[in-house]
Amino acid sequence: MLDDFFLRALIAGVGVALVAGPLGCFVVWRRLAYFGDTLSHAALLGVALAFLMQVNITLSVFTVSVMVSLALLGLQRRASLSSDALLGLLAHSSLALGLVALAFMSWVRIDLMGFLFGDILAVSKFDILAVYVGGAAVLAVLVMIWTPLFAATISRELAEAEGLRPDRANLIFMILLATVIAISMKIVGVLLITAMLIIPAATARRLSGGPEQMAVIAALVGAIAVVGGLFASLEWDTPSGPSIVVAALVLFLASLSPFAEKLPKLFGRDREGSRPGEAK
């Protein structure tokens, strides 16, 4: 019989995986892995501001992540630097600011490792509610912007010609990423959420025959990784968050097998159909 805290961890982790998988597909297609890292690093600054201003941590992390996203959009238009240079500047600056701010707040005692790597075994019923309500809202909005966002991923010019307003879709997508990072920070931590966005999507990319199918498979792969990682953590007494990421890595390595190479053909479609980012 499983303990209540372990069941809560399973439910919360699966909820995060079901949301992170579809979003992660766009992160992979658009080669935005570093952007996910930037937002996760900025989350620590959100934690510091939450303690400083005595506000809800999730709300603070969400606000800071959105501000970093807007800052990136603004700098891309004004600064003569490449996107990866701007992301590096924002990521490391926000992380350093968060650590320095926490160091100055000597009256605050926090478990920094818990924020960095998560503590999924300590989630409460309220955390589960936040994950599923917030996750459902994120998925609903993603479905609404799927067409313009997917079109912009293939060709921005084509999306503009079709009147799909790709700029608005891109902004909404960044806000959705900020939301996922905010609600999942306590589950897997700010340093591991990017892995949950990327690894299941990368695995699904090798197994799927189309973009919609890839989104579904990514969610399932993430859920399997959560379950496998938690049971492995229980069996071998390893950290739960990193164990989930290792389980996702094992699934990715399994997707490299010759048998996995044949799976997209079973659906009668070429695997290249799940790679819109390469259609440019």
> Per-residue pLDDT tens for 208-243?
888 999 999 999 999 999 999 999 998 898 888 889
Note whether 217 and 57 are within 8 A (CB): no
pLDDT at 248 exceeding the cut of 80: yes
Residues 6+ apart with CB under 8 A from 236: none
pLDDT at 198 exceeding the cut of 90: yes
The model's pTM is 0.87
Q: What is the pLDDT of residue 157?
A: 80
The proportion of the chain whose per-residue pLDDT surpasses 90, expressed as a percent, equals 34
Q: What is the pLDDT of residue 79?
A: 64
d(CA 257, CA 239): 28
Q: pLDDT grade, residue 273 (50/70/90)?
A: very low
Which range in 101-105, 129-133, 161-165 is most confidently predicted, on average pLDDT? Answer: 129-133
Q: pLDDT grade, residue 262 (50/70/90)?
A: low
Q: Give the pLDDT mean for 10-29.
A: 94
Q: What is the pLDDT of residue 275?
A: 56
Q: pLDDT grade, residue 270 (50/70/90)?
A: low
pLDDT at 111 exceeding the cut of 80: no
Q: What is the pLDDT of residue 89?
A: 87
Q: Give the pLDDT mean for 14-30.
A: 93
Q: What is the pLDDT of residue 48?
A: 86
To which residue do tokens 């060709």 refer? 155
Q: What is the pLDDT of residue 263?
A: 63
pLDDT at 17 exceeding the cut of 90: yes
pLDDT at 2 exceeding the cut of 80: no
Q: What is the pLDDT of residue 121?
A: 84
pLDDT at 104 exceeding the cut of 90: no
Which domains, and CATH codes, for the chain?
Answer: 4-278 (1.10.3470.10)
Q: What is the DSSP string of 183-236?
A: HHHHHH-TTTHHHHHHHHHHHHHHH-SSHHHHHHHHHHHHHHHHHHHHHHHHHH
- Give 104: exposed, middle or buried? Use CB within 10 Å, 0-12, 13-18, 19+: exposed
Q: pLDDT grade, residue 10 (50/70/90)?
A: very high
